[in-house]
Amino acid sequence: MPINELRAISTFTRAVELGSIRRAAQSLGVTPQAASQALAQLEAHLGVRLLHRTTRRLALTEEGQHFLERTRPALATLERALQSTREAKDEIAGPLRIVGPRSSFATLLMPLLDAFCRAHPDIQPDVQLDDGLGDWVRDRVDVGFRMGRSAEEGVIARLLFPVQLVMVASPDYLARHGVPRTVEDLQQHRCSVFRHPSTGRTIPWFLSSGGEPETREMVPALATNDSELEIQAVLAGQVIAQVASFAAAPLIRSGRMVPVLLDQVCAPIGLHVYYGSRTALPRRVRAFVDLAVEQLTNNPAHVLDAQELAALAAPSRLA
């Protein structure tokens, strides 16, 4: 019969401390028969007798005394480690491993980190931004953010808000090149495309067709794997681009970008926060997830409703 060495050693040391197998069994939450069996298995496993025992008392053998002296320090170290881990689980302190997309995400994440670190100054954020999915286990991730659901099994994903894809240009660009009225008009315009940093492939534009997203490959006047450069190219009047609403919203509201082709705006993906277990999360992880959900879920700062888009769209902003 296989032996649980750690349980058997714990039973042995507790029996010696309490002077009784029955009392040891009671303190460990097992039956006296189970405790006696564990001791017998340990002795058989080691090939020596550890205890002289009668119905009334216990006494250590010479081998038992030596074994006790060698196991007690190790068990005490293990108990301290267990207690320390239990206490650390309830602290909002220590490292917090966060992963997220590289594209335009820093402006969303930094306000969260700022608020969290001000409330919990002993937190040590460790942030990795990458447009690849990564490996949850290998990267030791506490909290992740992704456009779309994570491909990892066993990861809990929660939708924060839909990501609208809005076609935008600068007022200067539209004054020089005109406002596109149809998708076909885009063939006469300078369009930018985003090149995925991990695969090197250009991402097609997502357009709305009868309320459903469809993809269209665009002939690029500019291709880049950096979303910030793409936004700067729009602001410089070089191109029309399709950008995520959470990155474009403040620039549209300030008038530096103008949305076009509103009937083609769609939201094919969403921003999700993901994490491991619902029940065994360290308190620091749970607190950060709760903050992200509180501050980001359907936040109107990152989502442009149809009425607002219509008010800000070309040509009214250019008149």
Whole-model pTM over 0.85: no
Instruction: Write out pLDDT tens, residues 107-127.
Output: 899 999 999 999 999 999 999
CATH of 5-87, one of 3.40.50.300, 1.10.10.10, 3.30.300.180, 1.20.120.80: 1.10.10.10
pLDDT confidence band for 87 (50 / 70 / 90): low
**Tokens linked to 133:** 């999915």
pLDDT confidence band for 319 (50 / 70 / 90): very low
d(CA 54, CA 305): 81
CB 132 within 8 A of CB 102: no
What pLDDT does 23 receive?
A: 86
Instruction: Write out pLDDT tens, residues 256-309.
Output: 999 999 999 888 889 999 888 766 788 899 999 999 999 999 998 888 888 888
Between 85 and 297, the higher pLDDT residue:
297
d(CA 75, CA 19): 18
Instruction: Write out pLDDT tens, residues 41-69.
Output: 888 888 888 888 766 678 888 888 888 88
What pLDDT does 20 receive?
A: 82
d(CA 257, CA 172): 9
What pLDDT does 193 receive?
A: 95
Segment of 24-33, 46-55, 138-147, 229-238 carrying the highest mean pLDDT = 229-238
Q: Average of pLDDT values for 69-76?
A: 79
Class for the domain spanning 90-319: alpha beta
**Half-sphere exposure of 31 toward its Cβ, with a 13 Å CA cutoff?**
3
Q: Where are the domains of the chain?
A: 5-87, 90-319
Tell how far CA 186 is from the center of its chain.
37
